[in-house]
Structure 1
Amino acid sequence: MDPVVIIGGGIIGASLAYHLRELSRPVILYERDALGSGTSGDSVALFVWHQSTPDRSSHVLRTRSWEQYEPLIQDGTLSFEQIGTLDVTRNDDEVGELRELTATLENFGAEASFLESDVLADHGLDPNVVSGAMATPADGYLDPSEIIQHYIREASAAGVAVETQTPVTDILVNDGEVTGIETERGTRSAAAVVNVAGPWAPSLNEKAGVSLPFRHNRGPVVVLQKDDSFSLPFIQFSDGLYFRGEGRNQVFAGNFGADYEDAEVLTPAGAQSIDHEFYLEIDARIREAIPRLDGAELVNEWVGIRTLTPDGVPIVGETDVSDFFIAAGMNGLGVTLAPAIGEFLAASIKGEDVDSTVESYLSPTRFS
C-alpha cells in the first residue's frame, strides 16, 4: 500500500505525523537534516493569544492548539514559561488603536488589557518613553524540541516511519496528480505527498508545478545576558524589534524582519549573518526604553528564515495538483499553531469533515 509522505521534520511536520499516526495506510516522514533543525529550532518558541491584526479564525486555531498543549504542560510532558506579551507603543497617536485592539481580543475571548505608561516600569520599561501597551498575560514560550520529540515519539510508536538526513529531490506528478517522490536514496511511490518543509516549501512546490505566493524574510536574534537575575515579558515594538525574557538572566532580542511587500524568495541553506546595524538598533532601544537590560552582554546569535504569505495567514490544504498538500507560511506562528494545523490537515487528508470557515481561511485557493 502506497504511503502518505510528509516532507519536513519541523514542528508542523511532527504534528501532522502525530495526527496521522492511526491512518489506515503507511505514513513516512522525510527530513533533509535532523528533526527540528530548521526554522523550528531557530524560533523564539512563543505561544501567543496576542494578535496585531485580530482575526477570529486565528483565535479559533489558537484555542484548539492550546486545548492540545495544556494537558501536556500540566502532566509535565512539555515545559511552558508564562511571561505575557506587551505590545508597546511609543507614540501617543497609537494609544487609541491599541485600546481598540485590546477590546477586539477580549471580545474573541482572549485575556487582554491596556496598560498605561506609568504601570510599565514594573515590566522593565521606561514610562517616560513609552505611551502604553496592550497586555496579553497568558502568552509564554515552550521548547520546540520537546514538542517535536513528543509528537515523533508517539507517531513512531504507532508505526509512522521517520527518515532523517534524507532530502527530497523531486516531486513526481502525472496528469495533474502526485504519484511519488525522489530522494537521494531512490524513488518512492505515494498515495499523497504533504509539503511541510518550512522555508524549503516554495522550491518543493516548484518541483510539483504548484505556484503559491510565498516569500521569505530574515529574522536575526541575539542572546543577551546579565550577571544579576531579572524577569522580562515578551515586549514587541511597532517597528518590529522585540525582546523576550529567557530563564533567570537572559533575553532574546530580535526583529520580525521585512513585511511581505518587501520580502523576497531566499535560499534557506545560504549563509546568514547579522548586520552590524542590528546590534546598534538593539543597543539603542535598550538605552532608550528598557532600563532593566542596561549592562546586558552578547552571548549568542543566529538568523532564522521565516516563510510569509500576502495576508499573514498560513496556506494549508490540498493544492491544484491532486493529492499534493501544503502547510506552510506560518509567518512566525509555527509553535502557536502547530497542534491545530496538524489536526486540521490530517482531517483533510483523511477526507473527514472540517470546519468550513477555517478551511476557507487557510485554503491555498484563496489566492487563485
Structure 2
Amino acid sequence: MDPIVIVGGGIVGASLAYRLRDHPRPVALYERDALGSGTTGDSVAIFVRHQSRPDPLSHELRERAWEHYEPLIEDGTLDFERIGTLDVARTDRGLADRREAAEALSEFGVEASILEPAELADHGLDPDAVTGAMWTPNDGYLDPAEIVQHYVREATAGDGGVTVETGTAVTDLRVEDGAVVGIETANGTRPAATVVNAAGPWAPAVNDMAGVSLPFRHNRGPVVVLGKEEPFSLPFVQFGDGLYVRGEGRTQAFGGRFGASYEDAGRLDPTDARSVDHDFYLEIGERIETAIPRLEGAEVVADWVGVRTLTPDGVPAVGESAVDGFYLAAGMNGLGVTLAPAIGEFLAKRIAGESVDPEVAAYLSPDRFA
C-alpha cells in the first residue's frame, strides 16, 4: 500500500507520527535536517493555559494536550518546570484588560488571578514599573527535544512502526487530477496516498508544491540567553509590547520578542542566516534596568532567531485541503509545544476517518480562509 507521508520532523510531525503508528497504511516521516531542528528547536517551550484573549476552543485543545503530557511528566518520561505566567500591565487600561481575561479563564477552570504591583516584587519585577499582572501559576516549560525523541521512539517501535528519514528534504509533490499521489526527494520519487504538511516554517513552500494557497506569514523571534553566577528564579513574564523573559534552570533566563504581528509580517526564507540585531540587546538591557531587577548583572551567553508561521486569526490550520489527500498541521503561531499532542490526536483521527468534534474541526479547518 502507498504510505501516509508526513513532511516535517518537528514536535507536530512527531506527535502525528506517534498517533498514526497503528494505521493500516505504512507511515513515513521525512525531515530535511535533524528531528526537532526547526522551529521546535528554537522554541522557548512553554506550555501555557494563559490566554490574553481567552477562547474556549483554544482552551479545550490545551486541556486535551495536557491530558497527554501529564502522565508522561508524572512517570518521569518528560521534564516539566512549573514556573507560572505573568502577563504584565503597565497602564490602567492594560490592567483592566487582564482582569477581564483572568475572569474568563477562571470560568474555563483555569487558575488565574490579578496580582498587585507589590506582589510582583516576589517574582523579580520592580513594582514601580508596572500596574499589575495576570497570574496563571500552573504554566511551565518542557524540553521540546525530549518530547520529539519520545514520540519518534514510540512511533518507530516494533516491526510495523513508522519509517523516519532525516536529512531528506521533500522537494516537490506529485498531484494528479486534484489528488496528491507522491513526493519527490533528492533520492527520487516516492508514491503517497496521503501527504501531511507539518513542515513548520517551510509549510508555505510545501503548500506551493501542492498548489494550495493559504494566507501563512512568517515572523522572526529573537532570543538571548542570560546568565548569572548566583541562582535565581523567574516566571514566564510577558510585557504588552511583545518582550518577554522566562526562567531557565537555576542560573539562566531567556529574553525574547514574539515578533511582528500578522498584519506586519511577510513571507521569509527559513534557510536565511539569522542573527540577533544589536538593537534587541539594547532593548532587553533597558527592560532589565527599568523593570526586572532580578536580572541585573546578567550576561548574554547565547542567542538565536526563530521563524514562526502565523495565520490571520492566530489559530493553526489543521485538516484537509482542497487537494485530495493533502492535509495540513501548520501555522502554529508559536503554540507548537502547547498544542502538539492535541493536534496530532485530532489529525490522526481525521486521516483515519474517525469522528471528531465538529466545532473543533471547523475551528481548525484550513477551509476557513477560503
The TM-score with structure 1 as length reference comes to 0.99
Distance in 2 of aligned mates of 1:176 and 1:214: 22
Instruction: Choose which of 312, 315, 332 in structure 1 pairs with 2:314.
Output: 312
Partner of 1:60: 60
Distance in 1 of aligned mates of 2:223 and 2:350: 35
- Using the TM superposition, give the Cα deviation of residue 78 of structure 1 relative to its aligned residue in structure 2, in angstroms: 0.1
Distance in 2 of aligned mates of 1:94 and 1:73: 35
Distance in 2 of aligned mates of 1:44 and 1:67: 21
- Using the TM superposition, give the Cα deviation of residue 273 of structure 1 relative to its aligned residue in structure 2, in angstroms: 1.1
| 1:4-59 per-position Cα deviation (integer Å, ceiling 9, x unaligned) | 00000000000000000100110000000000010000000000000111110000
Distance in 1 of aligned mates of 2:297 and 2:251: 12
How does 1:108-119 map onto structure 2 within 5 Å? Answer: 108-119=108-119
Partner of 1:20: 20
Q: Does 1:330 align with 2:332?
A: yes
Distance in 2 of aligned mates of 1:329 and 1:116: 35
| 1:235-293 per-position Cα deviation (integer Å, ceiling 9, x unaligned) | 00000000000000100000000000000000001011111110010000000000000
How does 1:66-215 map onto structure 2 within 5 Å? Answer: 66-158=66-158, 159-215=161-217
Distance in 1 of aligned mates of 2:194 and 2:98: 44
How does 1:288-303 map onto structure 2 within 5 Å? Answer: 288-303=290-305
Show structure 1 runs of 5+ residues with no match: none
| 1:280-331 per-position Cα deviation (integer Å, ceiling 9, x unaligned) | 1000000000000000001000000000000000000010000100011100
Q: Does 1:341 align with 2:343?
A: yes
Distance in 2 of aligned mates of 1:191 and 1:298: 48
Distance in 2 of aligned mates of 1:335 and 1:56: 19
Distance in 2 of aligned mates of 1:93 and 1:24: 55
Distance in 1 of aligned mates of 2:50 and 2:285: 26
Q: Does 1:48 align with 2:56?
A: no
The one-letter code matched in structure 2 to 1:108 is F
8 Å Cα contact 2:310/2:331 also seen in 1: yes
Show structure 2 runs of 5+ residues with no match: none
Aligned partner of residue 134 in structure 1, secondary structure: strand
Distance in 2 of aligned mates of 1:3 and 1:205: 19
Distance in 2 of aligned mates of 1:45 and 1:95: 26
| 1:200-239 per-position Cα deviation (integer Å, ceiling 9, x unaligned) | 0000100110000000000000000011100000000000
8 Å Cα contact 2:52/2:98 also seen in 1: no
The TM-score with structure 2 as length reference comes to 0.99
The one-letter code matched in structure 2 to 1:128 is D
The one-letter code matched in structure 1 to 2:112 is A
Aligned partner of residue 30 in structure 1, secondary structure: strand
| 1:65-94 per-position Cα deviation (integer Å, ceiling 9, x unaligned) | 000000000000000000000000111221
How does 1:216-255 map onto structure 2 within 5 Å? Answer: 216-255=218-257
Distance in 1 of aligned mates of 2:25 and 2:332: 28
Aligned partner of residue 344 in structure 1, secondary structure: helix
Aligned partner of residue 44 in structure 2, secondary structure: coil
Aligned partner of residue 279 in structure 1, secondary structure: helix
Distance in 1 of aligned mates of 2:274 and 2:256: 14
Distance in 1 of aligned mates of 2:334 and 2:227: 24
Aligned partner of residue 128 in structure 1, secondary structure: helix
- Using the TM superposition, give the Cα deviation of residue 97 of structure 1 relative to its aligned residue in structure 2, in angstroms: 1.2
State the number of aligned residues. Answer: 368
The one-letter code matched in structure 2 to 1:112 is A
The one-letter code matched in structure 1 to 2:93 is D
Instruction: Give every structure 1 segment of 4 or more consecutive aligned residues whose post-TM-superposition deviation is greater than 2 Å.
Output: none
The one-letter code matched in structure 2 to 1:337 is L
The one-letter code matched in structure 1 to 2:40 is S
Distance in 2 of aligned mates of 1:153 and 1:284: 44
Distance in 2 of aligned mates of 1:97 and 1:308: 24
Instruction: Choose which of 285, 300, 307 in structure 2 pairs with 1:283.
Output: 285
Q: Aligned-residue CA RMSD in angstroms?
A: 0.5
